[in-house]
Structure 1
Amino acid sequence: MTSLHSSFLKISPRISVLPLIHGSGDYAIEVRRVMLNNEFDCLAVPLPPSFQANVERGISFLPSITAVLQEEPPISGSAPWEEDDEEEEDDIQRVCSYVPIDPCQGVIAALRLAMMEHIDRHFIDLETQRFESISASLPDPYALKKVPIEKFSAAVLPALNKLPEGQPLDRCKMMAHRLRELEKKYKSILLVCSLLDWPWIHDAYIEQMPLEVEDEEVNETNIYTADSETLLFLLGELPYITGLYEAARSELNDDENLSVDGIKELALTARDRYRMELKSRGRKITPKVLSVYFRYIRNLSLIERRMTPDLYTLVKAAQQVAGDQFAIQIAETAREYPFVHLLPFDKISFGIEQAQLPNGTMFELSNRLPGNPISWRNCELAPKPPKPKQDEWEMRWDPFKQCSWPPEDVAIEKFRTSVKDHALSLLGVDLARTEKFTTSMKDGLDLRETLRNWHTGEIHVKVLPPSRGRLDCVIMLFDSPADPRDYPYRLTWHAEHQDESTLAFFATDHRKEMVGPGIGMATYGGALFLFPPRPVSDIWNDLQFDFVDTLEERLLVAACHYSEESHIALLSEAPPGIGWRRLAKRYQKKLIHVPLGRFSQETIQQLRMFHVLNGQEIRSYAAHYIRKA
């Protein structure tokens, strides 16, 4: 050990202390470093002897996660003489204290390494029938990357509150007493304990405080397999980060900075899954977007006086930067743990300070290795419904009733107006001219022409005449060339009122992605808008348009047929080819190309997603189910 550690973190010449914050992967790495760089013949941990057998058994099953529970006397609201009354049995509240077999727990990491190195292990805590858990807000352990553990502990020491009288102080006295007994047998003892208990164990040892209590009779401990779906409530680190620590351990990779690098890995994995699920419908999570996301996480963490983010920060930042769907992927990825194996124990499901056995028995829980206090906050996200539910909604779909979702109608109509205005501005560009300055600046100075005639001293100004003509038809091609197999849903919708366009479109099958009862989600491949609205036949079944082959050409021919103006706005990635222009010329029309890249890709992706409702009555509750990427 370093000289500072030997002087400051030593209780006696034979006893060294490693004070830690429970549930921290950074502290688990520090425990490993200390134990591998020094020689110890005994490890003492702050757990009662009754837990030793099952805790060490659970450690032998790592990386599979287990938990060791010890049931405490039940808490009943009835008087002592009424405890046998059968009517009061339902009021009895069952309570357990437990030890999570978490590889990112410093105590578990120390025991795991001691078992591998064949170092004697002793559980020296007081046996108590009802355990009183003590926790406090402590600095972020990530500081250990730059600050030695001795300086970190010394900095925290003045801020620690004195333990309350009763069980917390009695536990420290018992641990000090057992350390004195171990000192007679071993030459180099390492005590791994909570940062909150360390000063009081030291004082009890130095002052040789007398024991005022003895071990109580306690129930036997039981070991359970933790349900992989609820590991978020058991582990100190996020399950995904814990899995990265275990993967690095098994593959002998560097894990020194996983508390931060793991967050980046989590975001990249969530991005890949987001792309796989939504494909072209999702937002583009570019390196720039990820950079904004990570900066936002950093700022939110600093506001909360943390160096590393918690799950709420990760999800909230993802929701603000890239939408609900990406936030859901972050949350689902964060709670995944890859090392799930079949173990010979009953499975237990964890919740917020409670657990449920397979038979439905509920327990209130008290953690024997409590870390920093956790505050649970709400983040409203609309998760994707399970597949069986989607199949049920699809079977109940009535094919003779369909309508749109009004908020999406308003959004796409505003976008249509924007495209039309942009096309009109392009229509007037060809009519712009330049003339010499006489008495008016007209539409502004033409700097290029003025510089070109600089030697003559003449000033030239721009003249932009008003646009001639109008536009009543807009074509939007989001995916061109479009594969007909990807867009089987082809329909012509008539306007419900005078502020809506007549709409013809091809899109993905809305019944393949049901988001609620009577609510399906589809994605536009292309659309045709006629405004003011007018009655038209269904262009997909109209025989007069059968001479064209592709979906895009059918929209184009229908637009040329029903448009009353000489120009048609075309929004697409690439400008129309000579074949499309010939089709338009056949109907004496001209195409005005508006590049798709002029608009925000996030906006385009949001507008492409729309919902089909199975009747107007569905609109009354559709907002509860509809979500955006």
Structure 2
Amino acid sequence: MDSLKLSPKITVFPVVHGSGDFAVAVRQQMLETEYDCLAVPLPPSFQANVEEAIQYLPAITSVVQPEPREYHTDWSPESDREDDEEEHACSYVPIDPCQPVIAALRIALQEHIPRRFIDLETSHFAPVTAMLPDAYALKTVRPDRFAAAVLPSLEIVREGQPWDRVVALAARLRELEQDFDSILVVCSILDWPWIKDAYHDGVTQQVFDDDVDDVETFSVAPRTLTFLLGELPFVTSLYERARAELDSDEHLSVDGIKALLLETRDRYRAELKQRARRITPKGLKIYLQYVRNLSLVERRMTPDLYTLAVAARQIFGDAFAVQLMETARDYQFDRETGFATLRMGIDKAAFPDGEVAEMISRLPGPPVVWRSLALNRRPPEIDERQWKQRWNPFSQCSWPPEDESIENLRTAVQDMALAITGDDLARSEKFTTSLMDGLDIRETLRNWHTNDLYVKVFPPNRGTLDCVVMLFDSPADPRDYPWRTTWMAEHQNESTLCFFATDFRSELIGPGIARATYGGAMFLFPPRTVPDIWQDPRFDAVDTLEERLLLAGCFHAKEPYVAVLSETAPGRAFQHIAKRFGKKLVHVPSAKLSQETISQLRTFHVLNGREVRSFASHFIRKP
């Protein structure tokens, strides 16, 4: 750190504002080295309110100073600004635990170290920002070497408000030297070389403090903390939890992302339950590798929220990406402060009186690029109530893309069942002139003493299947699947479909669009008109939903085989039902198919009329 000393009494600690890694580094420096004064690049007018607000941490607040209003009286036909229109702006200090300056002040207050706010009072603050290396490099690079590596890329400051502020900082540091023997200066990494130049060159201060308005402290609406904090609100809360529980927070900039991912997975499962995709360790590994690659493409060591959301959408789907973003903005410490609440936005804020002002941070981090990502979100509850009231119970239809997907599954199960029936007819023959369908190793070994070879013979499949029964949840609880109906085919490529499912009316996702989950289904293909099996008294002899579905399938099937897709083989009761109608059940284990695919196909949507199909894709999101 010798290279960062301005004099035997003054040590400069250059930081990247809004970086949790630099906040940890500053705290370690202050706890390892004894200082008798802390100087920070904030104006004296902020000191009382900032130090008071720090006492409320982990509650997040913002100390705001209004800037003088500007009035425009010039007008031209090309201008769309009316005469005397006023532009209102405010500068503010975010009381963010991951701000290095705030972390330093917090330690100084804790250790009773004198604090000095030495920046120039400016009525209109001009922030200085630049793209900087990822602060995670501090895990392997000392702060002084990090600052030295950044130095060649910094823009030289020799004029304007940034230079006036640098000169004022240097002048006030020379004054502090008269009163203190060991001073730590925490300043922006963009300013420290020019502070050093102004200090050593003895540049005379020519611009002095402006007259400024009083500052005021506000709480920040929890849902808008993303626009205020340097780190993600969820990660910021992990820093605060580690502080409260005396845990290590050295690697939270990366470990916090992992914790965010695991918390998102738990909330995702709790929300979607059976409809949720399986978030396996292998899937998480692929996701993290993809996040790493996207971060490296953007020349970062750690990912930002956009990178996390893009990877989540492409690996796990829209629903997981939405849950990830909602979890990321969740700050877990909600403490009452008594201050009025403002709502932050992109470089703007809405104050309690309804006024909206442009917001300029006094501790600006690297420039933020706001990018959009199209995701299908959950509808607000008020919309769900309105959609439920407008639902027409006499007009229902399916969504064609899902019809095609479930029919493809039916075809796949049917083909697998036919292959299984063909396996039962396989036989072994002694090799003569052709290998037929391949060498039968087992039979050849059995007859090893005869020196004969045996080959397999699979006769061609004969016949077809016209009935497929899929049992996704067996045994099924009737209370979970109150909706039972029969849908007729709309065209010759669709099956007649009988199923039991969850109540679609309890989950409306759009105007005239509802969602349900299959518990079990029976397909008849080629399609035919059949009475509703759930109202047909001929099937009242059975008790369970699965038995009724299978009984109807055996009754309406014209072929001797009925395919059954389920986790376990059909039991004795199922076999007895099939025997009554002279049918044979062909079991297709669901383990032969992708469980993720089955989970997605179980979820389907009900539309309140065919006209809804024209806009349904804007609301339907797959897990």
Coarse TM-score class (shorter-chain normalised): over 0.9
Among 373, 378, 396, the alignment partner of 2:367 is 373
Return the match for 2:616 from 610, 619, 622. 622
| Deviation by residue 1:152-177 (Cα, 9 ceiling, x = unmatched) | 22222222221252111111111000
Distance in 2 between residues matched to 1:72 and 1:390, nearest whole Å: 43
Look up the equivalent residue of 1:304 and give its one-letter code.
Answer: E
Deviation at 1:454, TM superposition (A): 4.4
Report what 1:28 is aligned to: 23
Output the CA distance in 1 between the equivalents of 2:456 and 2:82.
Answer: 93
Give 1:392's aligned residue.
386
Contact 1:68 1:221 in 2 (8 A): yes
Cα distance between partner residues in 1 of 2:442 and 2:313: 46
**Structural mapping, 1:89-488, within 5 Å:** 89=84, 91-163=85-157, 165-488=159-482
User: Which one is further off, 150-159 or 114-123?
Assistant: 150-159
Is 1:43–2:59 an aligned residue pair? Answer: no
Q: Does 1:576 align with 2:570?
A: yes
How far does the alpha carbon of each residue in 1:469-504 deviate from its partner, in whole angstroms, 9 at most, with x for none? Answer: 110011111000000000001110001111110000
Query: TM-score normalized by structure 1?
Result: 0.96
What is the CA-CA distance between 1:218 and the residue it aligns to? 1.4
Task: Give the Cα–Cα distance (whole angstroms) in 2 for the partners of residues 295 and 17 of structure 1.
Answer: 38
SS of the residue aligned with 1:533?
A: coil
Partner residue of 1:564? 558
Q: Distance in 2 between matches of 1:418 and 1:355?
A: 56
Counterparts of residues 584-603 of structure 1 (less than 5 Å) = 584-603=578-597
| CA deviation after TM superposition for structure 1 residue 148, in Å | 1.6
Q: CA deviation at 1:34?
A: 0.5
Q: Distance in 1 between matches of 2:605 and 2:353?
A: 42
* Matched position secondary structure for 2:474: coil
What per-residue deviation string (whole Å, max 9, x for no partner) do you get for residues 178-221 of structure 1?
A: 00000011111000001110100001000011112111111111
Tell me whether 1:61 sits opposite 2:56 in the alignment. Answer: yes
Distance in 1 of aligned mates of 2:505 and 2:391: 8
How many angstroms does 1:395 deviate by? Answer: 2.0
Name whichever of 69-78 and 541-550 sits farther off. 69-78
SS in 2 for 1:254: coil
State yes or no: 1:606 paired with 2:600: yes
Contact map agreement 1:488 1:506 (CA 8 A) in 2: yes
Query: SS state of the match for residue 270, structure 1?
Result: helix
Moved more, 617-626 or 178-187: 617-626
- Aligned equivalent of 1:83: none
Residue 71 of structure 1 aligns with which residue? 66
Question: For residues 431-478 of structure 1, what are the alpha-carbon distances to aligned partners after superposition, in whole Å with 9 as ceiling and x for unaligned?
Answer: 111212222222223333334444544332221111121100111110
Distance in 1, matches of 2:343 and 2:366, equals 22
Other structure's SS at 2:559 match: coil
Distance, in Å, in 1 between the alignment partners of 2:26 and 2:462 is: 78
Write the distance in 2 (CA, Å) between the matches of 1:587 and 1:452: 40
Structure 2 Cα separation of the partners of residues 191 and 513 of structure 1: 57
Aligned residue type for 2:160: G
Partner of 2:78: none
Which residue does the alignment assign to 1:52?
47
Q: Secondary structure at the match of 1:411?
A: helix
Larger displacement relative to structure 2 (141-150 or 547-556): 141-150
* 1:218-247 Cα shifts (integer Å, max 9, x gaps): 111111111100000100000000001111
Shift of the alpha carbon at 1:587?
Answer: 0.4
Q: Deviations over 1:220-275 (max 9, x none)?
A: 11111111000001000000000011111111112111111111111111111111
Instruction: Confirm or deny: 8 A CA contact 1:22 1:106 kept in the other structure.
Output: yes
* Residue in structure 2 matched with residue 525 of structure 1 by the alignment: 519
Aligned-pair RMSD on alpha carbons?
Answer: 1.5
Instruction: Describe the superposition over 1:582-623 as per-residue Cα deviations: whole angstroms up to 9, x where unpaired.
Output: 110100001100011111111111100000111111112111
- Identify the match of residue 549 of structure 2 among 552, 555, 560: 555
User: In structure 2, how many angstroms separate the alpha carbons of the residues matched to 1:165 and 1:77?
Assistant: 26
Shift of 1:319: 1.0
User: Could you say if the C-alpha distance between residues 75 and 462 of structure 1 is closer, same or farther in structure 2, counting changes exceeding 3 Å?
Assistant: farther
In structure 2, give the amino acid aligned to 1:260.
Answer: V
Cα distance in 2, alignment partners of residues 410 and 92 from structure 1: 58
Deviations 1:116-156 (A, max 9, x none): 11111111111111111111111111111122212222222
Amino acid at match of 2:394: F
TM-score, normalised on structure 2? 0.97
User: Using a 3 Å threshold, how does the CA distance of structure 1 residues 412 and 173 change in structure 2: closer, same or farther?
Assistant: same
AA matched with 1:239: P
1:213–1:148 Cα change, 3 Å: same
- Verify the 8 A CA contact 1:75 1:95 in the aligned structure 2: no
Task: Letter of the 2:64 partner, please give it.
Answer: L
Residue 6 of structure 2 corresponds to residue 11 of structure 1: yes
Deviates more, 1:43-52 or 1:339-348: 339-348
Q: Name the SS for the 1:92 alignment partner.
A: strand
Deviation at 1:113, TM superposition (A): 0.9
Q: In structure 2, what residue type is equivalent to 1:571?
A: L
SS, match of residue 68 in structure 2: strand
Provide, for residues 23-70 of structure 1, a one-character-per-residue CA deviation record: whole Å limited to 9, x for no partner.
011111111100011111111001111111111111111111011111
CA–CA separation in structure 1 for the residues paired with 2:490 and 2:189: 68
Contact conserved, 1:473 with 1:530, CA < 8 A, in 2?
A: yes
Whole-angstrom CA distance in 2 between matches of 1:76 and 1:288: 60
SS of corresponding position for 2:88: strand
CA contact (8 A) 1:476 1:527 kept: yes
Following superposition, the deviation at residue 100 of structure 1 comes to 0.5
User: Sequence identity, in percent?
Assistant: 60
1:552-606 CA distance string (max 9 Å, x none): 0000000001011000110000010111011101000011000111111111111
Asked whether the equivalents of residues 74 and 83 of structure 2 are also in contact (C-alpha less than 8 Å), the reply is no
The answer to whether the Cα contact below 8 Å between 1:477 and 1:552 also exists between their aligned partners in 2 is: yes
2-side partners of 1:163 and 1:610: how far apart? 61
* Further displaced range: 27-36 or 336-345: 336-345
Question: Residues of 2 paired with 1:354 and 1:75: CA distance?
Answer: 17
SS in 2 for 1:88: coil
- CA distance, structure 2, for counterparts of residue 590 and residue 412 of structure 1: 24
| Long gaps (5+) in structure 2 | 76-80
Give the letter for the 1:60 counterpart. Answer: Q
Shift of 1:88: 3.4
